[in-house]
Structure 1
Amino acid sequence: MKQNIIVVLFNISSEAYQAFSELKAYSQTTDALVAQAVLIKKENGLIIPAESTDFTANTVEGTWTGGLIGSLVGILGGPIGVLLGGATGALIGSDAGTAQTLGEGLLLENTAKKLDNGSTAIIILAQESDEAVLDAFFHRFKTVILRQDAAVAQQDVLAAIEAQEEVARQAHEAWKKQRKAERKEKVEAFKADIKQKFDKLAAKLK
């Protein structure tokens, strides 16, 4: 049995909502246990959680936001997600109907690159002994399925968080240097202005 993070990318938003609605009524099997899922959409460069479900909690919304899925959504919507996304291409083409198991660092990158503005995706935490079960569930729609071991995904998330913190630190340092340079210019201008005023006063005494 493998614990996996599965990202299902949809070409048609309405199909994503239909699939998620059906997923919330999913009948668990020993071959594929679904723990948590969230439907996200990308609008104007922002990653927006639209719906979520947590089969391990007592409420429909559950606690996905504090776990691995929540961290993935946060990274995809942050500066690292933007950097990883780069110049994106068409989501669905020759990849439609495929399912890929990805190694270290690749789930975040592939998801970021394939999530165009207006596109939707479902992110799932599942335990699988047979990947064909959920593949069949989602391949009824025009989708690309990306899959990664949950422990590897967690390592990637932690690395991305560290990178994000470093980017923020560097940006803050650059901002401080810029502010210092601006302050120096303003102080020099102030000193020149004050000197000019006193020079004028002194000239009147002559």
Structure 2
Amino acid sequence: MGLETEAGRNTAVGGLVGSLVGILGGPLGILTGWGIGAVIGGGYDYKRAEETTGTVAIVTSNMPPGGTAILAEVREADPQPVDLLAMRYDAVLERRPSDSVRTELKAMERAADRLRKDEAKERRDRKRAEAERKIKDGAAQLKQKIAG
């Protein structure tokens, strides 16, 4: 979950597609197309990286500073070998069904997305209210100048 194997892929593809489209505009079109395509692709890469980082943060949120977490899906006929390995390194071992872990992680990600959307909406609403207030104040000042 914390391993990003396609980092930069969308940026590169976006740049390539933009360059190909830009051929129609000559050398400047190629450069402009590449730049715009790379920026658009980079946005998708950023979103993927943010999601991956968020998942790792969820898994490691209960760890002590300096601790190490290993999240692994293990199919075992006998739990003793993994238990012995954990005991050897004084590790805390927690076994949970992978389906429940996936369900919890998805629920946490959805909650975090809702929170981000709510915060963005609040920021937009604040900015809108501030802009409306400035417009009203400006209109009032203009009326005063006209009347005065």
For normalisation by structure 1, the TM-score amounts to: 0.42
> Is residue 75–residue 161 contact of structure 1 (8 Å, CA) maintained in 2?
yes
Instruction: Note the alpha carbon deviations across 1:145-172, whole angstroms, 9 max, x for none.
Output: 1221111112212222222222122222
1:27 maps to what in 2? none
Q: Provide the C-alpha distance between the structure 1 equivalents of 2:53 and 2:74, rounded to a whole number of angstroms.
A: 16
Of 127, 133, 137, 1:185 maps to 133
Structure 2 residue ranges without an equivalent (≥5): 7-50
1:157 maps to what in 2? 105
Say which structure is richer in strand: 1
**Number of residue pairs matched?**
104
Of 74, 82, 100, 2:54 maps to 74
1:125 aligns with 2:73: yes
Q: Provide the C-alpha distance between the structure 2 equivalents of 1:118 and 1:136, rounded to a whole number of angstroms.
A: 23
Instruction: Note the alpha carbon deviations across 1:72-113, whole angstroms, 9 max, x for none.
Output: 863242xxx3xxxxxxxxxxxxxxxxxxxxxxxxxx5xx522
Q: Provide the C-alpha distance between the structure 1 equivalents of 2:78 and 2:116, rounded to a whole number of angstroms.
A: 41
Of 123, 146, 152, 2:94 maps to 146
Amino acid at match of 2:105: V
Against the structure 1 CA distance between its residues 116 and 196, is the aligned structure 2 distance closer, same or farther, given a 3 Å change threshold?
farther
1:112 maps to what in 2? 61
Of 155, 166, 190, 2:114 maps to 166
1:3 maps to what in 2? none
Give the alignment of 1:1-206 within 5 angstroms. 74-77=54-57, 81=58, 111-113=60-62, 115-200=63-148
Q: Which has the higher contact order (CA 8 A, sep 6+)?
A: 1
Q: Provide the C-alpha distance between the structure 2 equivalents of 1:120 and 1:164, rounded to a whole number of angstroms.
A: 24
How far residue 134 of structure 1 moved from its aligned partner, in angstroms, is 1.3
Q: Provide the C-alpha distance between the structure 2 equivalents of 1:181 and 1:198, rounded to a whole number of angstroms.
A: 26
Q: Provide the C-alpha distance between the structure 1 equivalents of 2:141 and 2:134, rounded to a whole number of angstroms.
A: 10
> Is residue 72–residue 157 contact of structure 1 (8 Å, CA) maintained in 2?
no
Against the structure 1 CA distance between its residues 73 and 124, is the aligned structure 2 distance closer, same or farther, given a 3 Å change threshold?
farther
Amino acid at match of 2:125: K
